[in-house]
Amino acid sequence: MLEKLKQRTLISIAFAGILYLAITIYTDFNLLVESFKKFDLLLLPVLLILSLLNYFARFFKWDYYLSILKIQLSKRDSLMIFMTGLLMSITPGKLGELLKAYLVKTVNKTPASVTAPIIFAERATDFLSLTILALIGAYIYDYGRNAALIITGLIIVGIFILTNRNVFDSLIKILSKIKFVRNRIESIEQLYHSTYTLLKLKPLIIAIIISVVSWGFECYGYYLVINNFVDTIGVSWSFFSYSFSTIVGAVSMLPGGLGVTEGSFLLMLTSKGLSTSDAAATTFITRVVTLWFAVIVGIIAVFFFQRKFGKIDFTNSESEK
């Protein structure tokens, strides 16, 4: 499994390279260079700090979920595991972050079926917080309203189904006729119990609030990048644009939303009057200090995790599938 994750990561990086090369050619390399020259390098550490604040806020949510499920981990180990999961930011929908469930098992033997719902709850509340920000902007700026409504509706319906015991029991009764499901009823029950616990009203509201704050850091960083090139775009539009573009990228299920997120950034920025080269520079810088910085942090975290616990091994995970 680890080898597959490595291969997919390398494929994603190669795809990103081709994509960014295509954007560079499209915008004209010389004009793009001139746009990059406009960027104030003193802003770079501020942007990276804002991204780190996003990661630490999301870590707080991860650790909060662990406490709800009564999973015992030291704060240091919990932080290492969470930061390692950032390496999987370039997997479709960040589903590669299921890696964290196996890392928890490596540390304290907690079955992956118990902790895996945390990753789902993280994504659901991230999506909800971003769609809330996008939905507000969609109504203010009359852009992408239907898409934001549909995505919000699907997430809410999904959460309702997962927190309704009667619906779950009915589904299991039907699916248990399938041998594959019948042989994994215990693990499925564990998955459901954890999911149900995490998505109760109180933890759901707390997690959404944390998510709005955490993604707000990156939204503000996006505003600062835009403001470096033009001062006619406000904070509210920047928050809306970043949230909307991130959501459509995630929904595309492409690794890291590559191509779709960048395309949305470019389209929305040029519609606000930025030149193609300035829009491309803004997009590149934003993705470097958010997506690719997360990958770098994840790589560093993997090094420290393996230094303490040894090489990550997935051979025992097969029994839980």
Phi, psi of 93 (to 5 degrees): 60, 15
pLDDT value of residue 220: 95
Lowest-confidence pick of 13-22, 104-113, 192-201: 13-22
**Would the pLDDT of 319 be above 50?**
no
Mean pLDDT (the chain) is 83
pLDDT value of residue 257: 80
The full set of domain ranges for the chain reads: 2-26+45-69+109-291
Question: What residues contact 47, with CB distance under 8 A and at least 6 apart?
Answer: 221, 224, 225, 285, 289
In tens, the pLDDT along 272-297 reads 889 999 999 999 999 999 989 998 99
**Concatenated DSSP letters of 90-148:** GSBTTGGGGHHHHHHHHHH---HHHHHHHHHHHHHHHHHHHHHHHHHHHHHHTSSHHHH
Confidence class for position 187, pLDDT limits 50, 70, 90? low
Percent of the chain with pLDDT strictly greater than 90: 37
Question: What residues contact 149, with CB distance under 8 A and at least 6 apart?
Answer: 135, 138
**Would the pLDDT of 39 be above 90?**
yes
**Would the pLDDT of 92 be above 80?**
no
**Would the pLDDT of 316 be above 50?**
no
Query: What's the pTM?
Result: 0.83
Highest-pLDDT range among 1-10, 86-95, 116-125, 309-318 = 116-125
Confidence class for position 318, pLDDT limits 50, 70, 90? very low
In tens, the pLDDT along 137-162 reads 877 777 767 777 787 787 788 777 77
